[in-house]
Homo-oligomer: A and B are copies of this chain.
Amino acid sequence: MKKLTKIAPIENLSLVDKVELRLKEYFKENNLKIGDSIPKELEFAQAMGVSRTSVREALLRLRTIGIIESKKHRGMVLTQPDIIRNFEKAIDFNLLGDQTLKDIFELRLILEMGMADLLFARKTEQDLKILDKIVSKQEKEEKNTNFFSLENEITFHGKLYQMSNNSTLQRFQDLLLPVFQFVHDNKLPEAKNFKYSSGKFVTHRDLLNILDKGTPDAFREAMRKHLEPHFEQILEA
């Protein structure tokens, strides 16, 4: 099919798309910040020469993302978008495809491998005590076994995320966990009775001891061994 080189493409933005772009320009031109009030729906509609319905639909997009918040009688203000919220909804609707699930599973592993320096910089005595409690409880339940328990993993590692003192990371992990668990339960059928196949077995106790008295490098080495079952599965794919 030969392209028509003399005919320019027709702009096919919908009216609501255009309104949204105009809103963005308006916010930038006026240097609006989080917390600032913005004009009313009717004011925007009149200024743009469109119906309130179209303005409403554009604003509704921004509301969904979290860029604005609206109150009856008061109007609307700019808010900091919650960058995790819509990720939550995607998961809630069970609409992530296999490839994305796999990506997220890997992303979780990458984060676990990458957070050592933050943990060492930000650990407190209180944190270590709580971790000790978690590990002691897990040791009682497991009794010298190498079986992999996802629930214990989630408890221990969840605490590590908390210790990072990075709230975005924590919120992100709250979402990664269900995905991780879903993939683990449904897509990796051999995982449930998994035993460590090679190398030294690194327990949560080992990790905690290093976190208490070791170095970030040593922690990374140990974490890699600890996560070996998962790495084995994804790196062979």
Show the binding face of A for B, using Cβ within 8 Å.
24, 27-28, 34, 57, 60-61, 64-67, 78-81, 83, 86-87, 89-90, 92-97, 99-100, 103-104, 106-107, 109-118, 121, 164, 166-169, 172, 216-217, 220-221, 224, 231, 235
Contact = CB atoms under 8 A, between A and B. Distances in A.
Contacts of A168: 100, 103-104, 107
Given A65-B89, A66-B90, A106-B164, 7 more contacts: A34-B97, A60-B61, A64-B65, A80-B97, A81-B86, A83-B87, A106-B118
Contacts of A93: 24, 27, 67, 81
B100 A109 contact: no
A192 to B, nearest CB: 23
6 contacts: A57-B60, A64-B64, A66-B90, A83-B100, A111-B114, A114-B115
B110 A96 contact: no
Contacts of A64: 60-61, 64-65
Contacts of A115: 110, 113-114
Q: Sort A-B residue pairs by CB-CB distance and give the 8 closest, nearest first.
A: A114-B114, A103-B168, A110-B114, A113-B114, A81-B90, A64-B64, A121-B235, A61-B64
Contact of A106 (B80, B90, B166): B166
A64 B94 CA distance: 17
Given A60-B64, A80-B96, A86-B65, A116 B117 contact: no
